[in-house]
Structure 1
Amino acid sequence: FQNCFQNPHEIIGHKILQRAYEKRNGFANFYAKLNNDEKDDIEEGIKVLLKKTVANINFMDEVQRLAEEFGGKHVKFRSLGFKPEFFGVYADATITECIFLDNAIHPAHQTLNAFSSFITMV
């Protein structure tokens, strides 16, 4: 993982959100209600969560704290239609984008398994 994130794309949060709203209508409805600052905050939060999780991959307590902190920031979006199952949408979109981030350095099945396990852990 760390090789993929040594020089991460600064727009990975945006790419993950874009993939999420393109793939799930319910998420797209929620996303459409966000203002630009809220979208930017979520994008930045995703990027920071990924970077910090990779940096702390051997410290599960810290990874859990980071994931809970990220989740807690979404409580304010319930009134706009955010649902807990949207974290699964984030996870699916993150796995896909991380596979692209790998740039086919590893066989696709290895990359899919690795990032699926990583996201499940988070």
Structure 2
Amino acid sequence: MTDRKNRLKKLVEVQEQLKALHETRRAGFLAEANAAKQEAKALAERFDAEGSLAGLFPELYHNRIAGALRRQDESLEKARAEAAKVAAATARTNMVERAYKAARRDDERRRGDRERLEIIEQKRGR
């Protein structure tokens, strides 16, 4: 294998790992956003429930609900940013894979050419 082919193969592996990292981070942010949404929903339900302490501490409930919704928005924004990074990593991975495949084809073609030349030289030597 050529040095270029080896480097491209390693680069493809690194790009795939980077893409997986961004996909994992995006999934984590989406999970955080969902958890914050559920928290806000649960707090709102408790606020409206009969016998709730919300009448005594309405500001506390409102602040906690607003905080949960803010965390949801922040997590969704982070997830959108990671989605853009996934798209960029995918594009880079595809580009490097194409270069790796081209280098592999060139290497195989050169190897085939050498083998054919060796066969021709062997026939000439006989």
Q: What TM-score range do you get, normalising by the shorter chain?
A: under 0.3
More helix per residue: 2
Q: Which has the higher contact order (CA 8 A, sep 6+)?
A: 2
Q: TM-score, normalised by structure 1?
A: 0.26
Q: Over alpha carbons, which structure has the higher Rg?
A: 2
